[in-house]
Homo-oligomer: A and B are copies of this chain.
């Protein structure tokens, strides 16, 4: 199941990371993990395959190499909350306390690098700088979580959708961030934004009708970034 391989391209992409921008889970540069490289196990997962389940004892944490992963919390009656979408370079399940407090599933076929939590902690114990970066990474995720609380608690449906598109654009942007590849379904988006599939659809349609975005298969093009920005309902600072 696990075959070792190298991912050179990814490394350079992550090296250009600047604090405050882009994916919060990618604060650690890959080259920082270089000493850990030999501890990593490569693995893959098929679309919709569960990587780990909520409640399991947490042995491993992961980095996305390619594809997209979602972290999910479920309520007893089936209501679902998608916590994060993880993209290449992002880490997840890093901040575990004994057991996973969410499950992780592959949105698309994914390649992952897997580390044992024990090895990471041990390494952190020896390397202060590494430990500090690990903490900072968790802090960055907490900061993102706080931003999402404003979204879930106080933003309207259309604001949530606009914010989401801007967020994704910032994370996946290859060039100016005009073309976004959205690997997840409307249902995933809805469960991420605290909405229903229909409301997400209508919101996207409305943005398309206003000429703010263009929709084409799983791809979305941002035509009017300024309009999208003001539709997102800015938070102070």
With A75-B154, A235-B75: A139-B138 Cβ-Cβ less than 8 Å: yes
State whether A81 touches B132 (Cβ < 8 A).
Answer: no
A111 within 8 A of B: no
State whether B121 touches A125 (Cβ < 8 A).
Answer: no
A21 within 8 A of B: no
A136 within 8 A of B: yes
A216 within 8 A of B: no
Nearest CB on B from A170, distance (A): 16
State whether B135 touches A234 (Cβ < 8 A).
Answer: no
**Out of B55, B128, B141, B191, which one reaches A125, CB within 8 Å?**
B128
State whether A81 touches B153 (Cβ < 8 A).
Answer: yes
**Chain B residue with minimal CB distance to A134?**
B135
A83 within 8 A of B: yes
Contacts of A194 on B, CB cut-off 8 Å?
Answer: 152-154
Nearest CB on B from A120, distance (A): 11
State whether A73 touches B235 (Cβ < 8 A).
Answer: yes
User: Bound complex: CA of A35 vs CA of B146, how far in Å?
Assistant: 31
User: Bound complex: CA of A149 vs CA of B155, how far in Å?
Assistant: 13
A223 within 8 A of B: no
B-facing residues in A111-152 (Cβ within 8 Å)? 121, 124-125, 128, 131-132, 134-136, 138-143, 145-150, 152
Contacts of A203 on B, CB cut-off 8 Å?
Answer: none
**Out of B146, B154, B191, which one reaches A101, CB within 8 Å?**
B146
B-facing residues in A148-207 (Cβ within 8 Å)? 148-150, 152-155, 191, 193-194
A102 within 8 A of B: yes
**Out of B81, B99, B121, B193, which one reaches A150, CB within 8 Å?**
B81
Q: Mark A85-114, 1 if CB is under 8 A from B, else 0.
A: 000000000011111011000000000000
Nearest CB on B from A99, distance (A): 8
**Chain B residue with minimal CB distance to A101?**
B143
**Out of B83, B98, B141, which one reaches A149, CB within 8 Å?**
B83
**Chain B residue with minimal CB distance to A97?**
B139
- 15 A-B residue pairs with CB within 8 Å: A19-B97, A76-B233, A76-B234, A80-B154, A81-B149, A83-B149, A95-B143, A97-B143, A101-B143, A101-B147, A102-B146, A131-B132, A135-B138, A138-B142, A149-B152
